[in-house]
Structures are given as structure tokens and as C-alpha cells.
Amino acid sequence: MKLNIHSITFKSQLLLIISILMFLSYTIFATTYENIILLFMLSIIILSYYLYKSLRPLNEEISQKESHLKDAQRIAKIGSWEYNLVTKTLSLSDEIYRILGVKLSTDIGWEDFLNYVDDNDYNKVITILDNAIKNGSQFDLRYAIKLNKNKKIHIQTTGKVRKKQDGSAKITAVSMDISNEIKNKQKIEELAYYDSLTGLANRALLKDRMSKSIQFAKRDSSKLAAIFLDLDHFKLINDTLGHDTGDDLLVYISKLLREQVREADTISRFGGDEFVILLQNIHNINDAELVAKKIQKALQEKHQIGSHQLYVTSSIGVSIFPEHADNADDLITNADTAMYEAKKSGRNGYKIYSLNMGKCANKQLNLEQSLVEAIKDKEQIEIYYQAKIDSATNSVSGAEALVRWNHPTLGLVFPDNFIYIAESTGLMVELGYVIIEKTISQIAKFNELGFIGLKVAINLSCRQFQDANLVSFILSTIDKYGVLPSQIEFEITETVSMSNTDETLRILTELNNIGVSIAIDDFGTGYSSLMYLKKFPINTLKIDRSFVMDMESDNNDREIAKTIILMANSLNLSTVAEGVESQEQANLLKEMGCNHLQGYLFSKPIPKNEFVQFLQDYTPNS
């Protein structure tokens, strides 16, 4: 290192000048050669001492900076190395040893150094280094290295090959541990392209892979399929057993699906309980059908989810490229359409997309838009009434309110064709408000006409039981129209009673406290436990029409109806038989002790004005 005279303090410079003057003085005046040598040596000693004193702070500063540089390399996990291509010697900084996880005293040669590179990256690294050595150029590498205990880390190395005219050649480089950067990048990719619950591909990744697969399929003239799968009644599991169990089921299903397809196929969680599977390179539609059948068979087995044994079914739709669509979005949409056809056909099955389904989907979309307007307008929503007859007096004891939609172009639309739309689109709460208010306002008009003893039943859906404002709306509507709560009965199905039992109990209790009645509709067709009859504040059981229609000829149906009536009587519950269409059915039910009869034998559902006329014309003995 060269001495920078300007770095020496003023005091040191002064002492240096004095020493030189002393040397010159004694040289001039000294009388002997020995004295001259002595004085010269003394001057050298004095000069060296003061030079040492002056350079010591500079040396300490350099050492401190070297220490800071090492600390910075350690913190940044950056090390430097140099390989002499002529002498074949390798020099490594301390941080390189730390990155490699070996002691500083370890002897590492060039081949040893290269052998740390992971096998998957080795050829790439050698090729790039050879090119850099040949051309005397820079290089930038990213690769993995393998350490002890099967550990791997990721390294980025930037360097240059330096060749000089004297024939010397060196590789000078810095290497940095970028493992955290790689992990963070992978985490970001997981969040962007994978479902956080199941680890399956999400929508974005599915569409990307499907678009690429379609490009390959076009080039190779091959086929691929989209399988759209929706779990049947998953919401009921969530509401009844809790979302944790629902999540556990979704994770379980995702693992089950992986076992049914090839490794090259893509399974994605499309949202909620919907899954889409991309089948690549299939020969024909039969290949997709086989996979759909295989999935449904696997799902139909009994599954242990935590402490619960669950039986799961699914509705599946299949679309094929290029027959049904030539892009990812349309392929998924058409598979979704086919899946809804499977649901409409009774669930637990699959459907292959056809063009007619697409027309039906467009029709349904138009119907959804029209329903939104109908609910806002309210005038298109009409309530029909079907009479209930007291079996003891043969008089009209009440009615069931049944909704109809007077569509401006389609005419009268029945509930089966639009209630499911309201349920699936979130319109059911608003539609329910319209039905409740129209019915209660009509009860007030019945009262004005003198029919004050009628009890009118209104159906409540599962979706309405999730509405926090349901009870307050009912109470305010009763007050608004001044009717008696005892004139109103709300009918719920067994499925509703099973959904989120704590919340159901709370709402039913509040309704009971208001003074309205509660009926279980379609009793005997669901799978609820009889303990709910004791737990819930139920007033009425409605015997499903399926037990009534064949009771004249089917002993089993007759015994079931009789058992329901006996059980209801023992629990002090009222009974209503639906679907009564013959006098013989009516007579049998009366003999069994059924309290109320409802069916076409007496009246079909009719508009409010016709129902008023029915009430005016009806006589108990007719």
C-alpha cells in the first residue's frame, strides 16, 4: 500500500522535518565516519517511529472497514470468490464458507466447488461458465446447491472472466443466498394461483392452463374436457355441522379427486363447493364420461370427516373441446350449464353439454333478470289460496298461501320454475317479504269481509331463516295491517328445521312468542330426528301427499299416515293432510283422527278474488 503523505498529521510532518535537519547538521559537523553512521541510524529510527505513530490510525481504519465489509457480506449472505484459470487455484471469502456450511479451514478445490451445484442445474451452470471463459464475458446464474442433510438453498452468482495480455486469466464473482427471495416468490405464486384451503389450482391458474392446453390441442388435433362438479346439499352440511366440518370435507374431497384423475390433469377449486377438472389429451367423450362416473362412485362411499360419517353426492357437467367450445371461458361455462341440468334432473348424476342447454341457460338468465324486476314491481307477484277443511265440522278452517308469478310475456309461472332461481341468486329474502306482506294484508281484507276465523299458512324457505330481520319484519307487518297473530301460520320443511338448529330454534321461539303458529310441511319425507318435535315450538304436522295419494290401496302408506296422526295427537299437535283428492281418502283420514284436510277434492289453489267467492259459496254439507 502506498503512503499518502497528506494523511499524516501536521505534528508528524514537523517531526519528520526536524529529523532531516538533525541528520544534515550532524553530517556536516561530525568529525568521524562512525558518528555519521550513528546519527544516520538514529534519524532513521526517529523517522520510522513517528511514521508508525502517524500510520497506525490509518491501518486501524482500514481494518475496521474490512471488518464492516465482512459483516455486511454476512448480513446480506453475499460472498466473493476468485478462480485462477492458469494456476487452478480457488480463493473463497469467509461468507462463501458460511453459505456452504463448512469450516473456514476446509480445503475446497474447483471441482469440489462445482459439485455443490444441484444435479438439476449442473449442466446449465457448466455450459454458461464455459461460454464465459471462452469469450471472456460476464455471466449471471441462478441455481440450487445441495448441502449436508439433504438441504438445498438457492444461489445467484454474478461474475466476469478477466483475461490479460500476459496470459493470466481469472474468474471473479460474487454469490448470494437468495433462498428467502425464492420462497417469498413461491408464496406469492401460491396466493395468486392456488386455493389457500385445499391447495388446488384456483380459477386464474385453471384458465391459464386450459388456454395453453387448447393451443396444444389445436396444434395436435386432440381433444380435452372440462368437468364441472358441485357437491349436492353442501350448504346443509355447513349450516348443520358448522363451517369447520365443511372446510374439512372440502379438503378431503380435493384429495379424493386427485386419486381419480391423471397427474397431468388439473383439478381446481372454482369457488365454494364447486370444482373444475381439466382433462387433457382425451380420445373422445367416453373418456370424460368414465372419469365422471369414477368420481361419483368414489364420492358415494361413506366418508369419515372428524367425528361425522357423511354420505356425499355430486352433480357433474361435462363439455368437450372442440365440439362444445373453442376457448377456456366458454368451455367452463358450458360445463357449468350441463352441471345445472344434472341438478335439475334430480342431482347425483352427470350431464354432457348440448346446444339446447345453452338456450335454456339464456332463458334462465332472462328469467332471473325478469324476476328482479317483478320483485321490485310487486304487482307481478300474486298469492293464490288453497282451502283447508276442518274434518270435524267440514267447514273452511283456513288456507295455504301459494305464490304465483304473472310474467308479462310468459303468463303464469309456477313456483317450481322460479323459487329455485330466487334461492340461488339471493332474491329469496326480498321475494319472501313480498309474499308475507301480500298475505297478511289479504288476511286483513278477509276479516273486513267477515271471514275472521281463517288461519292462513305461509311457507318459509331455508334462505329466509338466515335473514336477521325476518322476525322484526313479520311483527311490523302484523302491526301495520292489524291482524291477529293467531291467524297466521308459518310452514317450514324438515330440511329447514335441520339447518343450523340453534338459529332455527331461536327464530321459531321468537315467532312463537309473537303468537303465530308453526307447521312442519311434508312431514315424513325428510330425515330429521323426532327430537326436533320436542325441541322446537311446533303446532302442526302436515302429512305429505305421497302418503295420502295411495293410502286407499297401499297398506304401508295408510299405516304411515295413521302413525303420524297418532304421534301428533299424543304430542298435542294438530295435523293437516295434503293432496286429498277423493272422498274415500277424506273418510279414511277422518277415521284416523286427522284434524284438517287440504286438496283438490275441496279446491285447487285459486286467486284471492276467486277464493273469496269460494268462501261465500261454500257450505259444510256440500
Listed residues 119, 154, 183: the one ending a domain? 183
Q: Are 574 and 568 in contact (CB under 8 A)?
A: yes
- Distance, in Å, from the CA atom of 570 to the CA atom of 565, rounded to the nearest integer, reads 9
φ and ψ of 184, to 5 deg = -65, -40
What is the number of structural domains in the chain?
4
Q: Which amino acid is at 523?
A: F
User: 347-367: per-residue pLDDT in tens?
Assistant: 888 999 988 786 666 667 778
Q: Is residue 256 part of a domain?
A: yes
Question: Confidence class of residue 400 from pLDDT cuts 50, 70 and 90?
Answer: very high
Maximum mean pLDDT: which of 1-10, 172-181, 222-231, 335-344: 222-231
- At residue 6, the pLDDT reads 46
Residue 148 shares a structural domain with residue 244? no
Evaluate if residue 72 carries a pLDDT over 60. Answer: no
Asked which of 184-188, 227-231, 265-269, 478-482 is least confident by mean pLDDT, the reply is: 184-188
> Residue 181 — very low, low, confident or very high, per pLDDT cuts 50/70/90?
confident
CB neighbours (10 Å) of residue 178? 17
CATH code (residue 104):
3.30.450.20
pLDDT tens-digit readout, 479-522: 999 999 999 999 987 666 555 567 788 899 999 999 999 998 87
H or E, element range at 376: helix 355-377
Question: Cell numbers at residue 43, please?
Answer: 534519524
Q: Which three cell numbers stand for residue 604?
A: 285447487
User: What does DSSP assign to residue 149?
Assistant: G
Q: For residues 433 and 403, is the Cβ–Cβ distance under 8 A?
A: no
The predicted pLDDT at position 479 comes to 96
Asked if the structure places residue 358 within a domain, the reply is no
Tell me, yes or no, whether 467 lies in a domain.
yes
* CA geometry: angle 487, 488, 489, nearest 5 deg: 130
What is the reported pLDDT for 502? 74
Give the per-residue pLDDT at 238.
77
CA 389-391-393 angle, 5° bins: 90
Tens digit of each residue's pLDDT (9 = 90 or more) over 270-286: 888 999 999 999 989 99
Domain shared by 222 and 106, yes or no: no
Residue 327, pLDDT > 90, answer yes
C-alpha 493/C-alpha 333 separation (Å) is 33
Q: Quick check: 12 pLDDT over 60?
A: no
* CATH at residue 489: 3.20.20.450
Q: What is the pLDDT at residue 179? A: 87
- State pLDDT tens for residues 297-318: 998 888 888 888 888 889 999 9
Higher pLDDT, 343 or 31: 343
pLDDT of 4 > 50? The answer is no
pLDDT of 308 reads 83
> Phi, psi (5° rounding) for residue 194?
-130, 145
268 located within any domain: yes
User: How many Cβ atoms from other residues are within 10 Å of residue 306's Cβ?
Assistant: 13
Is residue 558, in this structure, part of any structural domain at all?
yes
Same domain, 42 and 82: no
Q: Strands 381-390, 606-607: parallel, antiparallel or unpaired by DSSP?
A: antiparallel
Whether pLDDT at 70 is above 60: no
* Judgement on whether residues 66 and 113 belong to the same structural domain of the protein: no
| 188, part of any domain | no
CATH of the domain at 319: 3.30.70.270
- Are 205 and 133 in the same domain? no
271 and 127 fall within a common domain:
no
Q: How many helices (H) and strands (E) does the chain have?
A: 22, 22
Q: Average pLDDT of 16-40? A: 57
Provide the pLDDT for residue 5: 43
Q: Is the pLDDT reported for residue 3 higher than 50?
A: no
Q: Helix, strand, or coil here: 386?
A: strand
CB atoms within 10 A of CB 499: 21
Mean model confidence pLDDT for the chain:
85
- Claim to verify: residue 577 and residue 477 sit in the same structural domain: yes
Residue 92: its pLDDT value, please? 92
> Residue 490, exposed/middle/buried by CB under 10 A (0-12, 13-18, 19+)?
buried
Residues 6 or more apart whose Cβ sits within 8 Å of residue 163: 136, 169
CA nearest to 564, candidates 580, 575, 554: 575
Of 183, 216, 235, the position where a domain reaches its end is 183
Asked if 528 and 419 sit in the same domain, the reply is yes
Checking DSSP bridges between strand 517-523 and strand 274-282, what pairing results, if any? unpaired
- The whole-number average pLDDT for the span 94-116 is 91
Mean pLDDT of 237-241: 76
Residue 622 lies in a domain: no
The mean per-residue pLDDT over the stretch 614-622 comes to 85
Residue 81 and residue 68 share a domain: no
- Backbone φ and ψ for 406, nearest 5 degrees, come out as -85, 90
> What domain range is 45 assigned to?
5-72
From the list 481, 488, 482, 534, the residue with the least C-alpha distance to 515 is: 488
Residue 250 within a domain: yes
Q: Can you give the pLDDT at residue 2?
A: 41
Q: How far apart are CA 19 and CA 618, in angstroms?
A: 140
The per-residue pLDDT for range 579-594, each reduced to its tens digit, is 999 999 999 999 999 9
**Distance between CA atoms of 600 and 425, rounded to whole angstroms?**
33
- The candidate with the shortest Cα–Cα distance to 453, out of 405, 486, 414, is 486
DSSP string, 293-357: HHHHHHHTSEEEETTEEEE--EEEEEEEETTT-SSHHHHHHHHHHHHHHHHHTTSSEEEE--HHH
CA distance 143 to 147: 13
pLDDT band with cut points at 50, 70 and 90 for residue 19: low
**Same domain for 433 and 522:** yes
- Cell 310468459, located at residue: 410
Query: Domain check: are 94 and 57 in the same one?
Result: no
| Rounded percentage of the chain residues whose pLDDT exceeds 70 | 83
Residues 103 and 172 in one domain: yes
Confidence label for 396 from pLDDT (cuts 50, 70 and 90) = very high
Per-residue pLDDT at 590: 95
Final residue belonging to a domain, choices 293, 321, 353: 353
Q: How far apart are CA 214 and CA 235, in angstroms?
A: 34
Give the tens place of pLDDT for each residue, 404-431.
999 998 899 888 888 878 877 778 999 9
